Every structure is written in structure tokens, then in C-alpha cells.
Structure 1
């Protein structure tokens, strides 16, 4: 739902009633992840999508029907061997789609949209079977309690969407973590393209450089923040987690070595550094001198990025972003035509609800 949050917020502000179709289950080579959504208002205007085009028409029709009846339902779409032109996923996967009518009084959606706007962690939970099918409630990342709330918070902490078995049915949990951070060290020309790419991928992007003449908002208008500080000092003072990506573009030892000495010892999701192979070897020797181990050095992606053969700032940013995405999903970064591994990787599961113990 994050992809269409802006449109849904405007519909809510205008008092519009609409249908929301959300992916709540996937199997095989289904093209879109859990939480992907298509919304249709009463005028027939549609935003978003659930399948990359395979079943959009059928889901659109289901939205119109649910808007008319007000009754939520779950639809399953898959590939039909008997009729390749039947409604289904020609990629061979299956998706379960929950279609609900979002009434003007459904304040759970306002809470989710507000959290998405502010960057807070929240889970949208909806019953997908039984008499309460479609009923929505939310659980925030800082919720404290037992039963459903505790189970949802555990899923949310892992960024895990999926199904949760509860005493009165089954709930689809759609987890929304705050955007991951991308910290770009080095206010150079390559950084501007990487900032734009990072925002496109949904990161909260920070540019940091010790040189105030280069680290300006005018040079990086797409960044969420531009910080003038020594890179290692800023990294020590800012909040990070295991989804945070750090890209070191300065290729200047006086900045790089103190920064990487700290970054490679932190639980970061990605650490990459720009420079030639000669620069990388020199940098590695300096890091060994300051005491980094082989295990810590193995975490460094340098020279940064995948081998795409590009030269421009934009091509370099694409190379870096591609490596970040591949590593984040545990993928190889190789040509898909030369591999036989699953195209889509996802985390999903069916969780029991814990009960209180004394």
C-alpha cells in the first residue's frame, strides 16, 4: 500500500469511499510482494496494481463488485494450463488478493497512512476469513501487550508480512517499517545521482561531507538531509540498523579510513566504497594497520557496485543500487538468463499467536 499512499490519503481527505485490493498471499513466481495494492474509487478511477498486469482487469472488476455489495472477499489467481488466455498469472505463480470496501469511517486506514507519512512503524491487520472478513485494525511498532499485539509486533520488528492464526480466525498482517536509511558520504557529482536512485528505491537519504562548500542542499535537493560533519563522527552519532546502507564515495584516505574502521564494525546492511582496485588495496592495507580483521574486511564492497560497464554518474548509481538490492535479497547479481534460482525472493510466513504465561 505504500506505493499508493499519497493517492489514498487524498481520497480520504476528500471523503471518498473506495475499494482496496491487497496481495495477502503469494506462491511460485508471483510478480509482486505481500502488501501490493490496487485501489478503485466509486468513479472507477484506479491506482496501483497487484500483479504487474496479469490479472489487473479481474481485480478491478472485483473491486467494483465489492464497492457495490460492501462485502469483503478473498480471490485467488493462478496460471491455467488448460487455457493460457484465461484470467491468471502467466508467470506460473499464484496470488491471494483481499478485496475490501474502505468506508469513510474506517479509521484504521487513516492511522496507517499517517504512519507512512511520518515514517513510523505500523502493521495493518485484516481478517481474511469468518464473519469479520475485511475488518481492519492496526498495531504500532511500540505496542506492548500479549496475544495478537505481541505476535504482530514480533512480525513488524522483522519487517515480515504474512498470515497470523488468531482464536477467532486468520489475520493478514501487512508490516510497514520506517524507510531504511542510505547514508552517502562524499558530496561529489556521483552522489547526486545516487541520492536520486536511493529516493526512487524508498530510502531515507542523507548526504554527509566535512566540506561545507560542497555539502549543500542546493547541490542535493532530492536528499532528505545534508550534513556537514566529519564522516566518522557523524556515523558514530546517528541512528543506524541492519537495513542501513553506507556508501563511501570520497576515495580520500583521511575521510575513508576512520569512517570504514567504524562502519565495518557496526551492524549495517551494506557498506560500499568507491575507488579503483589500486585505491581499494591501499585502503585495505590501511584498515589492516588500524586493526580490522579479515572477517570485518570481508563485509566491505569495494570497488563499489556491480560490473555493468557504465561510466556516467547515473550508470554508476545504478551499479551501486543494483548491488545493494541484490545483497539485500541474498541474490547473486548475475544474469537471470544464466541462473536457475527463483526470480522473486520474499519473506513470509504463518505465525501462531503466543499466549500469556505466569
Structure 2
């Protein structure tokens, strides 16, 4: 999507109506990943691709119809369907594409959801004072074409700035609020609404989870009596085998995946690599000993580097989404790595070692000039106390502590806690 923005804005400035088609779900194989986008203007011009050429012709017709009717729609193409064969989808999977007009007829005021994004009133929590049920709806009226261009520009700016300020665009692609959109920033700000205050709360929670992992996903929600909106793993099917969707929301996160940097090519490292990948991290293994730092030993890692840890850190971009795990428990590696690590803004820094090793390391770090405040940034011994002994269990202990620190939790047993299981969104509280 990001690479289409300049072309879309050019079309808008020329007075064209535009529809955007987004790949929101895939079953089986697909030429493109979820989140791939294609734009079509009212003259039939095309930017981008959804399937590498398989269904683009059919999607152009759908996009033009969406523009003409100012009506979004969810379309599926599958190898088992006649439609899938007719449009040339031969990859063996089923793809789901959401098509929405960027704006409709300015004279009637029927603007698309993308046009209706406007800042929430100051101080508004989700569903708080000043909340308007009209925010984010395609059915709202009374907006001019100029408002539409301005609203689209706001969202485009959010996507362009996502490298510095990660953002998720949440779009209802099925259900009563189809086409409604909400923008959720990693820092906490929210624009727009999916259409229901309780649904907003659940979607915002999920959007922040996707942002934390830099992932895109189609989420399903069901309205359960007495419980409100709840996330469900997949919609139930009717007697014809078709999904019965209450509400489906595509969360399109624009954020790089978090980075897990593991210093030390030791026996615990591979398990941590495997779990880190499962949790959506980009994983780097770094060790100064080239005979140990090999791709063969750590095939799950995205990068295996034979270099002194501090040298690697000095030339690597580190952010609050970076996790640094020092597993060597050898002072000639640990101390230089940790001295460099605490000077960064990494979200988590942990170091493996016994109580004795940790005490000795603290003394060495003080001698290296670190303050108590800097040393206290280091989680050592690394991980939560769950009685882990094997490499796999230790990996769980480490990543559990990473998650707990990111979410502000203590890592206690839920059965012995009165806190709510999920964060309470919109009022600054937790639980």
C-alpha cells in the first residue's frame, strides 16, 4: 500500500475517484502476501497488483462498480470456484479481496470510510465523551469532496510516517459495519470507529497486538449475549459450508517486525530462535566465534553474524521494539555487549547467568563505568521464575518476561490474580 500512495494522491488531485483493493486473507497458496494492494481510478487505470496477474482483470471491474455505487465489497476467488477458473487463479488457493472506494459522489456526500477519518476530540477515550457514532462510517452524509481529500491525506500521512510511528488501519470487511475504518497508532492515539464502542475496544486491543509483532491479519468477532463482542478464531459455517460472519475486521499494520538480537551461539540459542520466530520477531544471532555462528546451527534465524557483539550493536539500528538477549555468560563477551546495549533505547535487555555470575557481572559493569540506573535496565538473571531447565523451557521463560515487560504485567498466575486478563483500553487503565 505504501508504495501506491504517491500515485493515488496524484489521481485524487486530478479529480479522479479511486477504489483500493486489498488482499485481506489467503487459504492455501497465493502469489502475494496478505496486505498486497491495488488501486484503480474511474478511468480504469491501475496501480499495484493483488495476485501477480491472475485476478486483476476481474478486480478492475469490481473496483469500477464499487466507485459507481460508492459501496465496498468483499470478494473471494478460489481454484475450486468457476469464478476462480474464469479469472485465471491457478495457484491452488483461495484469496479474499476487499474493495472500497476512496470517496464516492461529493455532491451526495456519500464518501467512503477512508474519507471520513478525522481526529478524535481532545481527551476522547474509546467511546468516551465526544464520541460520534458517525465517525468512520461510509453511510454518513454531509461531507464535501474537499473533506474527503483531506481525510485521505491524513491517513496517507500516517502510513508514510509509520517507520517512525507504527500505525494499524482497521477496516470492517464484513458484517453490519462493512467499510467502517479506524486508525490505531502504537503510541495510543485512535482516529475513527468501526461502528460500536465495545467492538472498538476489542479491535484496538487486537490492533496493538498486531502492531507489536508487525503483522497483518483478518480478525473475526461475534456479538455474544452478556459478553459483548468477542474475538473468535474463525466464523462458523452454515449448512452449505459457507462462513457465517458476524463481523470481520482486517488489521493492516504498518510497522517493521520487532527485532530479537541474541548474543551467544550457545545451546539455548536455537530454542530462543524458534520461539522468537513463532512470536513474529526478526531474529539475529551474533557471536564472535565464527565456528559456532553458522546458519547450519541456527536455520530459523533471519541473520547469523560472526562478529563481536558490541561492534554489531554499534552499527545496528535499535528501537523500543528491539529485544536484546545476552546468553554467553562469559565476561569477555557479556560486559562489552551490555555496556553498549544499555546506551540504546532497546525495549528489553536480558543476560543469562547464575546468581553468582550475575553478581560478578554487576561488579564488572560498575567498573566499566555504568551507573546503577543503567545496570538496573538489565534483566539478570534473564527470564521469569517458572522452574525452566531445558533450552525450550528457558526460551519460554525469557519470552514470557519480554511480553510481561512490554505489557506492564508482573508475570504472576492468572488464577491468583484479580486483574482483568486483557488491558482496559481508552481510559489509561490496565487489567
User: How far did residue 212 of structure 1 move?
Assistant: 0.7
Distance 1:3 1:294 in 2: 48
- Pair 1:177 & 2:255 matched: yes
Distance 1:125 1:342, change over 3 A: farther
1:7-45 CA-to-partner distances (Å, cap 9, x unmatched) read 584484253999xxxxxxxxxxxxxxxxxxxx9846699
The 8 Å contact of residues 126 and 171 in structure 1, kept in 2 or not, is answered as no
Q: Distance in 2 between matches of 1:310 and 1:126?
A: 52
- TM-score, normalised via structure 1 length: 0.59
Aligned partner of residue 268 in structure 2, secondary structure: helix
How far 1:347 moved relative to its partner? Answer: 6.5
Alignment equivalent of 1:240, drawn from 303, 318, 338: 318
1:227 to 270, 281, 305: 305
Among 138, 157, 162, the residue aligned to 1:130 = 138
1:154 shift after superposition: 6.0
- Give the drift of 1:155: 7.0
Q: CA deviation digits over 1:219-273, x for unaligned, max 9? A: 0000001000001111111111111000000000001001101101210010000
Aligned residue for 1:189, secondary structure, equals coil
Pair 293,155 (structure 1): closer, same or farther in 2 beyond 3 Å: same
Q: Which moved more, 1:9-18 or 1:179-188?
A: 9-18
Q: List per-residue Cα deviations over 1:177-211 (Å, max 9, x = no partner).
A: 01010000000110000000000000000000000
Cα distance in structure 1, aligned partners of 2:252 and 2:425: 12
C-alpha contact (below 8 Å) 2:159/2:254 kept by paired residues: no
Q: Deviations over 1:263-312 (max 9, x none)?
A: 01210010000000000000000001111111111110000001111211
Q: 312, 329, 335: which is aligned to 2:390?
A: 312
> What is the match of residue 102 of structure 1?
97
Cα-Cα RMSD: 3.9
Superposition pairs for residues 60-139 of structure 1, below 5 Å?
Answer: 102=97, 128-131=136-139
Determine the structure 1 residue equivalent to 2:278.
Answer: 200
Equivalent residue, structure 2, for 1:297: 375
Structure-to-structure mapping, 1:206-225, within 5 angstroms: 206-225=284-303
TM-score by length of 2: 0.49
CA contact (8 A) 2:326 2:351 kept: yes
Indicate how the Cα distance of structure 1 residues 215 and 15 shifts in structure 2: closer, same or farther if over 3 A, else same. same
Q: Match of 1:288, SS?
A: helix
Q: C-alpha distance in 2, partners of 1:270/1:334?
A: 19
Separation in 2, partners of 1:9, 1:341: 42
Name structure 1 gaps, 5 residues minimum: 19-38, 46-100, 109-123, 134-144, 350-358
Q: Structure 2 CA distance, aligned partners of 1:147 and 1:322?
A: 37
8 Å CA contact 1:160–1:348 kept in 2: the answer is no
In the alignment, structure 1 residue 262 sits paired with structure 2 residue 302: no
Shift of 1:342: 2.5
* Counterpart Cα distance in 1 of 2:23 and 2:399: 20
2:324 matches 1:277? no
Aligned residue pairs total 244
CA contact (8 A) 1:125 1:174 kept: no
Give yes or no for the alignment of 1:188 onto 2:266: yes
